[in-house]
Structure 1
Amino acid sequence: MLRRAGARAWWGFKWSAAGLGTSMAALLMTAVGAAVAALSLISVGLFAVRPYLWLLRCLADLERRRLGAIGEPVPSPYMESPKTLREALRTVVADPTVRRDLGWAASHGTFGLLVGAVAFQTFPNAVRELTTALWWRWVPPGEATLFNDLIAVDDQRTALLGLLTGSFWALLALYAVPWLVRLQAMPERRLLGPESETDLTARVAELTATRAAALDAHAVELRRIERALHDGAQNRLVAVAMLTGIARQTVRDDPGNADEVLGRAQDAAETALAELRGVVRTILPPVLEDRGLEGALSALAADCPVPCSVSVDVSARCPASVESTAYFAVAEALTNAAKHSGATETAVTVRRTGSELVVEVRDNGRGGADASEGSGLTGILRRAEALDGKAAVSSPPGGPTTVEVRLPCGS
């Protein structure tokens, strides 16, 4: 428990120090903003508006990254930076994100600075006051103090009081600093994020794109099934019908050769049946229903020409659509690795992270895969988007290639 508290204290001290730095920069930006506004009244400050807005956005984005690192992600509300002075002036007047950034700078430069200063000083104060009894004699008179200079240390008895005050600071560092970091972030989540209407508009646009991706994926899948049936099973069934007709005629005209023709018809029927089973498996593999995702992926790995390891860390079954998408993403990635990468080994990792199923396929091939070229990787991206998920392909020249798919699967 003490080790965990120490790790949390170090986490809090680290991010409170970062927050203290951004709060001081925000206070400076607030002062500079007031100066720019005052000088703009006499037209001198107008030329500083555009660079000031750029600096303010950079600082706000830096703070958003800090918030994301402490588990308080805030999406950026910006559309596009102003390119001219006229656009900058129009942005100041019409864009609510500018006013929210200015409000954040004032808030973070005051309230955030105060909270950050309190959090940041706990650790050094604890170390200094716990050791005061060891060094107070070696500093000039009046230099050794306790509790932020409220208590002067002028004898050993007072110095020993540092054990009490230092313990107080240590308890604050262990248990209060992580809470102070969260407290500092509370107004920032509201001011740095997009407005509710803007957020809703972005979500509607995202869902519209997701719906279009789902429809496209559905249409592509229907075309694939139609081609598989038309070019494969249908041709086999036509051959069965023709051979059956030939066999009937042979029975009447040459009964001795009828058995050979019937055998050919039977072979064609079995081939057509096998192709139909193959098409059915590509729609929803029965192995997923029978053995679950881990068993289905193990079967894929066993059939892969490239040696493949599988690691699945999923405690409960996911929705059928999620498992099916994960299965086909792995199948397509392994097929690409076997055909194009020149890899000698591949690895499939599946894990549940919160409400997401994360699928990662990695190979040690030559790299250079590009999902924008309409390859099977594009199909992986579309399948993921159809479920409101995300997919990313990392394949630098020389490898390795990593395909990562994230699929929402409920809490």
Structure 2
Amino acid sequence: MLSGMAAIGLAFTNILLLFVSIVVLALTPVPYLGLALVPWTMTLVRMRTDLERRRASRTGVAVTRPYHPPPEPAVAGVWPRFRWIVTDPATWRDLAWLAPEAVVGFGLGTIGVLVPLYGLAGLTLTPVWIWLGTGWYGYGAIWSAATWPAALLCLPQGAVILAGGLWLAPWLRRVDARFTRLFLAPTRNAELRLRVTQLTITRADTVDAQAAELRRIERDLHDGVQARLVSLSLIIGLADTLIDRKPAEAHKLLAEARESSTTALVELRHLVRGIHPPVLAERGLGGAVRALALSLPIPIAVEVELSGRPDTPVESAAYFAVAEALTNLIRHSRAHCGSVSLRHRDRTLTIVVTDDGAGGADPAAGTGLRGIERRLAAFDGTVTLSSPAGGPTVITMEMPCALSSPRTTPSSGTG
């Protein structure tokens, strides 16, 4: 019944927005005034349509936003914003939706409100009859409470109508949502355009991430292994000059060179592990995640249900996404334990990382979720965060992929 009342109120909002939009569009020829008012008004219209999309999603009817991306802030001005609004076909579909939705929403909302109210009225007729006595002769054309038997019959009739109205309300809301989808869902061309835009952004993020990774590798090689090898070369050269004259000192330098070479080898192994861990290539995603969990200071349960292995790029991205999520868990969550679940269903790899920490994780606070999103976006992956205050924190990562070779490791376990 509340959704019906909301639909009635929003129907009047649609009429008001349509009237304001027509007036503003009529003022477009007026210098500066139309250019400034049209984007502002259409923003209000989009706020209204976005609200309707959210209401539709609550009924299980998904309606995607179809709008062009806004102009870059560097070039944003009155004219670019005006052109962005008026050249977007979704703007005119929004305007075309306002009037029909006002009629449909008002009609369905009225039915959703009046039917339960009518049933409620039937339930209240018997108490009213008792209070008023024989002077009460009914309600409308259905209810008649002039006698005791008639008054008592109002109770079951009213209960049936009230229950029927409450049962009917979600169906009416779903019908309204499907009608909304006819107007506000993106067309085929709009879906292709949005897909191209998403791929362009994803490609740019991937290129930036790869460039940053190459810079990191270059820095680690320059500051670590390369410096160690230069030092090693100098020590060996010095030992070579002393081997005949001062063999004892030369042997000390060679021992120092041996230690330096061992350190360089360890650093090089760490660097290689950061590029593509050998355990990932040897044991697959499940085994690599278990090995990672065993190296952490708190217990992490690992459950794996994979019938094969993803492609190497997908497997690597999934591993490093889990590693980053677990790193955030150790650093920020104050958790005592956690878990990682890896499953493959319907050609989708689903990874769920949970912890029993304090919760309240915020992607904007630099908790690493943005890095995970950028890493998975290159493979059309998505990241969903649930972290209420007090916990638990649940990070769900999904990546579309197919599995190839058969599994060689156990399907589940605890790390």
Q: TM-score when scaled to structure 1?
A: 0.64
Q: Distance in 2 between matches of 1:250 and 1:83?
A: 74
Q: Distance in 2 between matches of 1:227 and 1:83?
A: 41
CA contact (8 A) 1:351 1:358 kept: yes
Q: Which residue of 2 aligns with 1:278?
A: 270
- The number of residues matched between the two structures is 380
One of 29, 33, 53 as aligned partner of 1:64: 53
Q: Does 1:74 align with 2:28?
A: no
Q: What amino acid is the match of 1:18?
A: A
1:254-265 matches, cutoff 5 A: 260-265=252-257
Q: Which residue of 2 aligns with 1:9?
A: none
Structure 1 pair 248/80, CA: closer, same or farther in 2 (3 Å)?
A: closer
- CA drift of 1:326 comes to 5.8
- CA drift of 1:286 comes to 4.6
- CA drift of 1:274 comes to 1.0
Q: Which residue of 2 aligns with 1:209?
A: 201
Q: Which residue of 1 aligns with 2:183?
A: 191
Q: Does 1:23 align with 2:11?
A: yes
Q: Which residue of 1 aligns with 2:413?
A: none
Q: Distance in 2 between matches of 1:92 and 1:303?
A: 53
What is the percentage of aligned positions where both structures have the same residue?
34
Q: Does 1:111 align with 2:101?
A: no
Q: Distance in 2 between matches of 1:130 and 1:122?
A: 13
CA contact (8 A) 1:350 1:358 kept: yes
CA contact (8 A) 2:352 2:394 kept: no
Q: Distance in 2 between matches of 1:73 and 1:184?
A: 12
Range 201-210 or range 108-117, more displaced: 108-117
- CA drift of 1:104 comes to 1.5
CA contact (8 A) 2:381 2:400 kept: no
Q: Does 1:177 align with 2:165?
A: no
Structure 1 pair 368/408, CA: closer, same or farther in 2 (3 Å)?
A: closer
- CA drift of 1:94 comes to 6.1
CA contact (8 A) 1:122 1:172 kept: yes
Q: Distance in 2 between matches of 1:407 and 1:136?
A: 62
Q: Distance in 2 between matches of 1:269 and 1:29?
A: 74
1:11-410 matches, cutoff 5 A: 13-27=1-15, 29=17, 32=19, 50=38, 55-71=44-60, 72-75=62-65, 77=67, 96-130=89-123, 132-138=125-131, 141-144=136-139, 149-159=141-151, 160=153, 162-164=155-157, 166-167=159-160, 169-171=162-164, 173-174=166-167, 176-240=168-232, 260-286=252-278, 319=310, 321=313, 324-325=316-317, 328=320, 357=351, 382-389=374-381, 408-409=399-400
Which is richer in helix?
1
Range 66-75 or range 343-352, more displaced: 343-352
- CA drift of 1:208 comes to 1.0
CA contact (8 A) 1:76 1:193 kept: yes
Cα displacement string for residues 277-307 of structure 1 (whole angstroms, at most 9, x for unaligned residues):
1012211335557788788678768867xx8
Q: What amino acid is the match of 1:116?
A: G
Q: Distance in 2 between matches of 1:56 and 1:383?
A: 35
Q: Distance in 2 between matches of 1:392 and 1:268?
A: 45
Structure 1 pair 101/83, CA: closer, same or farther in 2 (3 Å)?
A: farther
CA contact (8 A) 1:27 1:108 kept: no
Q: What amino acid is the match of 1:386?
A: A
Q: Distance in 2 between matches of 1:111 and 1:184?
A: 7
Q: Distance in 1 between matches of 2:85 and 2:400?
A: 42
- CA drift of 1:108 comes to 1.4
CA contact (8 A) 1:330 1:361 kept: no
